[in-house]
Amino acid sequence: MHNIIIPQLIAGLAIVFTLVAFGWRLKVFNSLARPIDRAPARGSIKQGLLYAYTLGMAPWAKESTRRHWLSYIRGVFFHIGIFLGLGILVISPWINLFPTWLRITLSTGAGLGALLGLAGFVARFIDPNLKALSTPDDYFAVLVVSVFLATACLGLSFLATLPIFYIISAFMLIYAPFSKIRHCIYFAYSRLFFGRFTGIRGVLPHQQQVLR
């Protein structure tokens, strides 16, 4: 029991560090000047935002995802696995109280997320386009998150391995604000800007036929 307290404490401190680091980044980001749109409004900002956060993220909304459905699906479930893994980290001190079926379900979800993440990692070596665009941080970030999910799966299956899960989690959380993982906080802003601009310009929803 005592051998898990220190790893839990390290993971807890890592969570605090990450929240503070992301909070600082958001503060800096919000302090930046915004471009002023001087053109008269032709549409609804609310409609643009609604589209941006719903159908605007559908696979048929962008050419890149329309042509790569498998990659899109892999990415969606990989990110679902990440949120699941973070949830597992938060509730992990009470894992031994969970019924077996729940632990198996959570473990399966985390394991699937890890496999999909590793598939994306391998794809960056195989796909010429991904390989050309990828930076060392792209490779390392995907690998770290995949290992995080794998250790979450392992920790749920074998409670004695939970200290490993905590150490890997702490490393990922400390690394996150300095890596591409930080796109998790910029994603919401990018959709906000996209929805606000296209909504006020009155160019959504798209009505034109999609060329294939």
Along the 212 residues of the chain, how does pLDDT read in single tens digits?
A: 557 899 999 999 999 999 999 999 888 877 877 777 777 777 777 888 888 888 777 777 776 667 777 888 888 899 999 999 999 999 999 988 899 999 999 999 999 999 999 999 998 999 888 888 888 999 999 999 999 999 999 999 998 999 999 999 999 999 999 998 888 887 887 888 888 888 888 777 655 444 44
Integer angstrom CA distances of residue 170 from 63, 76, 78, 189: 37, 24, 20, 26
Estimate the crossing angle of helix 69-91 against helix 162-175, to 10 degrees: 120
Which residues fall within 8 angstroms of residue 56, CB to CB, at 6 or more apart? 191, 194, 195, 204
Residue type at 97 in one-letter notation: L
- Report pTM: 0.83
Integer angstrom CA distances of residue 107 from 5, 149, 153: 22, 9, 4
Please, are residues 134 and 170 in contact by the beta-carbon 8 Å criterion? Answer: no
- Alpha-carbon dihedral angle through residues 20, 24, 29, 31, given to the nearest 10 degrees: 140
The domain segmentation of the chain, as residue ranges, is 41-201
Query: How many C-beta atoms surround the C-beta of residue 173 within 10 A?
Result: 24
Chain CA centroid to CA 113, Å:
11
CA-angle at 17, arms to 11 and 22, nearest 5°: 125
